[in-house]
Structure 1
C-alpha cells in the first residue's frame, strides 16, 4: 500500500531529486552550448558544464546503488529504485553524448531543428524533475494524480520531439547536398530525440511506482 512509500532507511527520494537537478543542469548547459555555438570559448565552457553535471549525476547514481545494498528496508521496491536511478542516469549520459558528438563530428553550425529539439529536451527534463520531486509524497492521492499528469505531459513532449525529428530528417535528406553534413546532423537529431525518449522511460517507471503502490 502507499503507506510503505514512507522512508524507513536511506533518503532515496532526496537523492532522486539531486540527480534530477543534475539532469536539468546538464540540459540547460547544453542549451547554452547550442545558443552560443559560434563563440568557441563559450562553447568550451558549456561543454565543461555539461560534463560536470553528468559526472555529478554519476556520483549520485553510484551513491544510490551503494545505499541500496546497505539498506534493509527501502521506501519502495528495490528493483524500482535501481531501475529509476539508472534510467535517470541514462538521460544525463545522453545529454553528454549530444555535446561530445558535436565536438567529435566537428559540427560547424547549428540548425533550427537542433534548437527546437534542444528546447524540447530541456522542457522534458524540467518536467522529469517535477515528477521526481513528487515521488516522496504520492501517499497523497492528489499528489499521485498530479504526478501521473506530469508523466503524461512528458509523453506529449516526447511525441512533439519525434515529429520535429521526422520533419528534420525529411528536410535534411531533401535539401542538404553534402553527405558528410547529412551524417553529422542525422546523428545529432537522433541523439536529441533519444533524450526525450529516455525521459519518457523515466516517466513510465514513475507511473509504475505509483500504480503498484496505490
Structure 2
C-alpha cells in the first residue's frame, strides 16, 4: 500500500481540455473577424496573428496533456480516449491556422460571400466544441450527459450545413469565376474551411463515445 502512495495520481485533464476548447473558440472567432475585415490589410494581419497565437497556445496545452498522460497512473478517462480527443481538438486549430496561412500565401485579395458563410459555420462548430469540453467533468449527471449528446448532434448538423454550403460555393465558383487563379485560390480556401467542421465532428464523435461509456 505504501507503493501506491508514490504512484502519479490523476492529473487535471478536464481543466486542460477546457483550456484547449477556449483556444479553439477564440481562434475561430479571430478567423471570422479576419474574414470580416479582409479588405483592410492591417486589420486582417492583426486578426491573423490572433489566430496564430491561439494555435500556439493550444499546442502547449496539447503537449502538456501528452506529458501528463505519461506521468499519471490514474486517468479520469480511458487513456486512448484522452490521446485521440486532444489530438482531434488540436487538428481543429491547426486547420484554422492553415487556412489563414493559405489565404496569405496565395495572396488572396478578395473573398466571396461563401467564405464568410463557411467561416460563420466554423465559429458555431468551434463554440459548441468548447461547450461540450467544458461539461466533460460532469458526465455522471444524466442531464449534463444528455445536453452534451444534444450539442454533439448540433455539431453533426453544422457539418452537414458546411457540406451543403461548400457544394453550392463550388458550383458557383466553377460557373461564374472567370479568373483561373482566383478559382484555384478560393477552391483551396473552401476545402480548408469545410474540413474545419469535419474535424469538429471528429471531436463530437469521440465525445459521444466517452459519454456512452462513462455516463
TM-score bracket, normalised by the shorter chain, equals over 0.9
Q: What residue is the counterpart of 1:12 in the other structure?
A: 13
Q: What residue is the counterpart of 1:122 in the other structure?
A: 123
Q: What residue is the counterpart of 1:201 in the other structure?
A: 202
Q: What residue is the counterpart of 2:189 in the other structure?
A: 188
* CA-CA distance at 1:165 after TM superposition: 0.2
* Structure 1 runs, 4 residues or longer, greater than 6 Å off: none
Q: Whole-Å Cα distance in 1 between the matches of residues 193 and 37 of structure 2? A: 17
Q: Which runs of 5+ in 1 are unaligned?
A: 1-7
Q: Whole-Å Cα distance in 1 between the matches of residues 11 and 58 of structure 2? A: 18
Matches within 5 A, 1:128-207: 128-207=129-208
Aligned length: 207
* CA-CA distance at 1:197 after TM superposition: 0.5
Q: Deviations over 1:90-126 (max 9, x none)?
A: 0000000110000011111111000000000001000
* CA-CA distance at 1:177 after TM superposition: 1.1
Q: Whole-Å Cα distance in 2 between the matches of residues 41 and 181 of structure 1? A: 22
Q: Whole-Å Cα distance in 2 between the matches of residues 96 and 144 of structure 1? A: 31
What TM-score comes out, normalization by structure 1 length? 0.95
Matches within 5 A, 1:30-45: 30-45=31-46
* CA-CA distance at 1:183 after TM superposition: 0.6
Q: Whole-Å Cα distance in 2 between the matches of residues 133 and 52 of structure 1? A: 21
Q: What residue is the counterpart of 1:105 in the other structure?
A: 106
